Structure 1
């Protein structure tokens, strides 16, 4: 019998894992296996910043496996303003989850990192060997160091106790159950919400920047399958980048075009080139992933966008939009 505890279980990736487990054929590569119990914990189930609350959660469910997604996350400006908060709260969450996993004798833990753990000055493409080769970008060093330290903890637990603790590094994630709050959301959910509002109010849809920067986007339900694969089939302590390939980089203009089509927006659509573009590209290599997983089919970007927009429109009243 296996009990898989997913922290951050109601967020973007946790919801996607729940969807895959509930919809893939039972016993298939990504479906629920006989004898498995999946627990999707949310913040209301226990404050992971608190060691006693974390221990109580683990004592309640006694997980044999953990997918650790819970984190304090935010956009660029939040990271810049509250560096200590992002450092301290994520250090507490990660310490408590890994310690509770160790004390509860969990067989395996996968923690979710971020590409922001990589150094600011680095040669591209990013790969798993470059995480500790220089300091992260100044703008989010609190969050980045807290996440980077998970890799250090994983190796320390393995060295001292033989623990099978590892981590995943996804690129830019989007999909149903994302955070569409215009103040704090990432580029795709922000543009979906802006385009919806422009259509609703009969106003122009304006995208900040030139639209030329390139990014690798991974659909949350594809990422969910990769987490399930990693849980069952990946047994290294070193992290693995979970992403589409470098050849699938998409420009922000292509993203906006796809959103306009999915939303059915027919009004004025422009780019505000007075706004900064940010980094032009920061490609990450998925060669390690592909060398291990074998055949894996990523959802075509436009199909994933159509499904994400459809979910947003159907769930606008309850989605995280910041409009409550």
Structure 2
């Protein structure tokens, strides 16, 4: 797929050319949908360019430079990464470390070389120390090693924060990063091994309904998580690109009070998909961490009035997209 462009209304001022790497994925499409469906998000004098791996190899410096020479971005939102589920991370920690370090180094260096005015990269809550206090906040990223299962990916993502500060100190670059909690929405990866909690539940309910079998949830359903709808995240990333002034990263998440249990999430998926079969909790499977609570106090300092999409509504919209796009869903 060639690079896709989305032009907002033309005006008389200087046009921002915003390049989104990894633009065909979950978060990239969240940005695209926010620009398309939320009129208050659109702004004059912005040209959005969404690229995917088919537009160039970010592992290669020359290929990355060619993307920057072609599109001449004034701003960049960097989403591209080598990602995978638990089992791939366990097996290929070195690959996840080396490839993501290379991708990030190429993108950040090109942003400096080609005078990009602002860069926003996307990190992950998995970068936080495995042993930590909760709620986690932006000051705690480097306080200890991440979980051993995906340390390669986690350290590569942490280094973006280190590079952002180094580029700012040495070259005055305005490079920053966001840290979303559990993202879900249209264009997610619904593969049971490489996908995350909510898309996995949707896939399982879909399969149980199709095959007329029971729907099995792994674990007790008691663990609690903060979920952020990809379109809400897209809107907040656009705000970060336009207005967030800091080099230090910012957590983008619903509040602690909006945590939901896996059981509650499963019940909402069952309801949204109108599944009438039996629901079973396989308590022989591990629950994992009970909570991974993140503080959104910094976000609320800047955006006290931001309205997150109600969880039930966002689940319904995600399910509707899934059922309406089975032919292109990533399984």
- Same fold judged by TM-score > 0.5? yes
Q: TM-score, normalized by length of structure 1?
A: 0.97
2:323 aligned with 1:313:
yes
Question: Deviation of residue 87 (structure 1)?
Answer: 0.3
Are the aligned partners of 2:85 and 2:194 in contact in 1 as well (CA < 8 Å)? yes
Runs of 4+ in 1 over 2 A off after TM superposition: none
Of 245, 253, 259, 1:249 maps to: 259
Q: Distance in 2 between matches of 1:186 and 1:146?
A: 20
Question: Deviation of residue 24 (structure 1)?
Answer: 2.3
Secondary structure of 2:20's aligned partner = strand
What is aligned with 1:263? Answer: 273
Residues 225-256 of structure 1 show CA distances to partners (whole Å, capped at 9, x for unaligned) of 10011111101000000000011110000010
Q: Distance in 2 between matches of 1:34 and 1:245?
A: 31
Residues 46-92 of structure 1 show CA distances to partners (whole Å, capped at 9, x for unaligned) of 11111111100011000000000000111111111100010011001
- The 5-angstrom pairing of residues 1-324 of structure 1 reads 1-25=15-39, 28=40, 30-31=41-42, 33-321=43-331
Consecutive unaligned residues in structure 1, runs of 5 or more: none
Q: Distance in 1 between matches of 2:34 and 2:313?
A: 17
Secondary structure of 1:232's aligned partner = helix
Q: Distance in 1 between matches of 2:74 and 2:155?
A: 28
Residues 269-302 of structure 1 show CA distances to partners (whole Å, capped at 9, x for unaligned) of 1100000000000100000000012310000000
Are the aligned partners of 2:87 and 2:193 in contact in 1 as well (CA < 8 Å)? no
Q: TM-score, normalized by length of structure 2?
A: 0.95
Consecutive unaligned residues in structure 2, runs of 5 or more: 1-14
Residues 290-315 of structure 1 show CA distances to partners (whole Å, capped at 9, x for unaligned) of 00123100000000000000000000
Are the aligned partners of 2:86 and 2:193 in contact in 1 as well (CA < 8 Å)? no
Residues 184-233 of structure 1 show CA distances to partners (whole Å, capped at 9, x for unaligned) of 11010011011001000000000000000000000000001100111111
Q: Distance in 2 between matches of 1:59 and 1:84?
A: 31
Secondary structure of 1:97's aligned partner = helix
Q: Distance in 2 between matches of 1:19 and 1:220?
A: 9
Are the aligned partners of 2:22 and 2:78 in contact in 1 as well (CA < 8 Å)? yes
